[in-house]
Amino acid sequence: HMTPFLHLANKLAEKGHRVTFLLPKKAQKQLEHLNLFPDSIVFHPLTIFPVDGLPAGAETASDIPVSLVRFLSIAMDLSRDQVEAAVRALRPDLILFDIAHWVPDMAKEHGVKTMMYNVISANCTAHDLVPGGELGVPPPGYPSSKVLYREQDAHALSSFSTYYKRFYNRVTTGLMNCDFISIRTCQEIEGKFCDYIERQYQKKVLLTGPMLPEPEKSKPLEDQWSHWLSGFGQGSVVFCALGSQITLEKDQFQELCLGMELTGLPFLVAVTPPKGAKTIQEALPEGFEDRVKSRGVVWGEWVQQPLILAHSSVGCFVSHCGFGSMWESLMSDCQIVLLPYLNDQVLNTRLMTEELEVSVEVKREETGWFSKENLSCAIMSVMEKDSEVGNRVRRSHANLKEVVVSAGLLTGYTDKFVDTLEKLVNDTNLE
Ligand SMILES: O=c1ccn([C@@H]2O[C@H](COP(=O)(O)OP(=O)(O)O[C@H]3O[C@H](CO)[C@@H](O)[C@H](O)[C@H]3O)[C@@H](O)[C@H]2O)c(=O)[nH]1
């Protein structure tokens, strides 16, 4: 979540604004290299106090499983005094926040305006986070008959539901109390969902575009991967990554590996070791490494996803459809196969697969389990030459990519966003 905030800070700094970025100490180290304007963007570390239930040293959501995020929220709330002290000292024109729902109340006491910056999709906010809604049921007037949950999503929703109630209250409180809402999306992809949110909250909604880093500014792809990928034909490799929050059960991890093997295609899987395992190696299916060693790698560490997607040998991306990965998949030329876990990922998947028709979704059973056959089948349906589905999604994806990467679309969003923001902040009537 913090990465798009920092990309947005870079845009503000580029246009002459000063930004103070409040974040936990450990996250500062992870984000520092993305700060393109260190003279204008100053990191302000927050101390994360220990909370019962929160593992020692955990400071961000990527340090813990989703089931423990509620303890992190408690720790975040305990940082309120530190945030308030910073506001008192710095007297900012505007505070951008997301799940710290108490920020608007606190800011009002100091006469400071606030903007809730939503880095998850507009479709998920529209479906799950409008007042009067109920989890799993589209709210009245919801603008899509396709971007919905289905029976086989019960698993994704139930694993989240206890935590979700509290999360729901936080986000809707933040959305209701802030002065303005902004969303990391664009009209071309999620226009009708943004308009719906604006109507429901009766508040100005500003769009920033997807807030992706500019590719030429990132480091080149590590040699080990560029070398390995170059050993395969154009568009032949399947790349699979499931973001920063998904840790698979061991049996599902093994099924994923076997599904990749079953495709007969070269593959690179980058996921964290499954539950109960310290390393990937100890969890692999028996004999797997020997069988796939010339064409398949399962890697337990972070890889440079955007650069891997841009490599000419990579032809298919199997993704959890986290919102960042969704944009990266759209910007790539890869065929897209979706394997969502959390609720927003499920809705993003329906948007991509059913509304935009640029991807396919792996079939799951009601328990949430997906079989190696279904995984392999979904991949082959887009990778086999002359596959009707494959050709259809390739065409729609190419058309949409053209819109999204068209000259000026992304910079147009940030320019307009910063312009409007300047006007709104200076407007004492809060239009
Ligand atoms: O090995 C890896 C794995 C991921 N990434 C990058 O990490 C980011 C991941 O972002 P995203 O796709 O949004 O995934 P998560 O961090 O897993 O997603 C969390 O945050 C998203 C909002 O950004 C929500 O949509 C998801 O549900 C929530 O799990 C992307 O830029 C990837 O390129 C890498 O570079 N290397």
pLDDT tens for each residue of 288-340: 999 999 999 999 999 999 999 999 999 999 999 999 999 999 999 999 999 99
Mean pLDDT computed over 133-145: 85
Q: Is the CB of 302 under 6 A from ligand 1?
A: yes
Virtual torsion, Cα 281, 283, 287, 290, nearest 10 deg: -30
Residue nearest (by alpha carbon) to ligand 1 atom 1: 302
Q: Is the CB of 247 under 6 A from ligand 1?
A: no
Pocket test for ligand 1, best of 325, 326, 334, 348 (most atoms within 8 A of CB): 325
Q: Which helix (H) or strand (E) holds 375?
A: helix 372-383
Q: How many angstroms is it from 11 CA to the middle of ligand 1?
A: 21
CA–CA dist 254, 272 (Å, integer): 13
CA–CA dist 238, 236 (Å, integer): 7
So what's the pLDDT on residue 115?
Answer: 96
CA–CA dist 195, 425 (Å, integer): 22
CA–CA dist 199, 58 (Å, integer): 38
Q: From 238, 294, 244, 251, select the one nearest 271 (Cα to Cα).
A: 244
Q: Is the CB of 244 under 6 A from ligand 1?
A: yes
Q: Is the CB of 304 under 6 A from ligand 1?
A: yes
CA–CA dist 191, 345 (Å, integer): 18
**What predicted TM-score, i.e. pTM, was given to this entire model?**
0.92
Pocket test for ligand 1, best of 323, 327, 328, 342 (most atoms within 8 A of CB): 323
**For residue 304, what are its two tokens?**
């440079």
CA distances from 241 to 28, 253, 283, 326 (A): 24, 12, 17, 12
CA–CA dist 394, 336 (Å, integer): 9
Rg (alpha carbons) of the chain, rounded to whole number = 22
**What is the widest separation between alpha-carbon atoms in the chain?**
68
Q: How many angstroms is it from 213 CA to the middle of ligand 1?
A: 13
70-104 in b/e form (b: 16+ CB < 10 A) is bbbbebbeebeebbbebbeebebebbbbbbbbbbb
**What are the pLDDT digits (tens) for 389-422?**
999 999 999 999 999 888 788 889 999 999 999 8
Q: Is the CB of 120 under 6 A from ligand 1?
A: yes
Q: How many angstroms is it from 306 CA to the middle of ligand 1?
A: 11
Q: Is the CB of 236 under 6 A from ligand 1?
A: no
Residue nearest (by alpha carbon) to ligand 1 atom 34: 305
Q: Reply yes or no on whether the pLDDT at 61 is more than 90.
A: no
Q: Is the CB of 322 under 6 A from ligand 1?
A: yes
Q: Residue 46: beta bridge partners?
A: 24
Q: Is the CB of 306 under 6 A from ligand 1?
A: yes
Q: Reply yes or no on whether the pLDDT at 239 is more than 60.
A: yes
**For residue 14, what are its two tokens?**
């580029």
Work out the percent of the chain whose per-residue pLDDT is above 90: 79
**What are the pLDDT digits (tens) for 183-197?**
999 999 999 999 999
Q: Which atom of ligand 1 is found nearest the CA of 121? A: 25
Q: Is the CB of 59 under 6 A from ligand 1?
A: no
Q: Is the CB of 324 under 6 A from ligand 1?
A: yes
Q: Is the CB of 78 under 6 A from ligand 1?
A: no
Residue nearest (by alpha carbon) to ligand 1 atom 29: 245
Q: Name residues whose C-beta falls within 8 Å of residue 82's C-beta, 6 or more positions apart in sequence.
A: 22, 46, 47
> How many residues are listed for the chain in this entry?
431
Q: Which atom of ligand 1 is found nearest the CA of 325? A: 12
Q: Are 421 and 179 in contact (CB under 8 A)?
A: no
Q: Name residues whose C-beta falls within 8 Å of residue 424's C-beta, 6 or more positions apart in sequence.
A: 113, 179, 180, 204, 430, 431
Q: How many angstroms is it from 324 CA to the middle of ligand 1?
A: 5
CA–CA dist 407, 109 (Å, integer): 43
So what's the pLDDT on residue 162?
Answer: 61
Tell me how crowded residue 431 is: count the other CB atoms within 10 A of its CB.
Answer: 8
- pLDDT band of residue 257 (cuts 50, 70, 90) is very high
So what's the pLDDT on residue 160?
Answer: 64
Q: Reply yes or no on whether the pLDDT at 163 is more than 70.
A: no
Q: Are 370 and 260 in contact (CB under 8 A)?
A: no
Q: Is the CB of 325 under 6 A from ligand 1?
A: yes
Q: Reply yes or no on whether the pLDDT at 159 is more than 70.
A: no
Q: Are 123 and 139 in contact (CB under 8 A)?
A: no
DSSP state of 37: -
Q: Which atom of ligand 1 is found nearest the CA of 212? A: 31
Residue nearest (by alpha carbon) to ligand 1 atom 13: 324
CA–CA dist 241, 271 (Å, integer): 6
Q: Which atom of ligand 1 is found nearest the CA of 124? A: 25
So what's the pLDDT on residue 172?
Answer: 92
Please write down the HEC assignment for all residues of 315-366. Answer: EEEEECCCHHHHHHHHHCCCEEEECCCCHHHHHHHHHHHHHCCCEEECCCCC
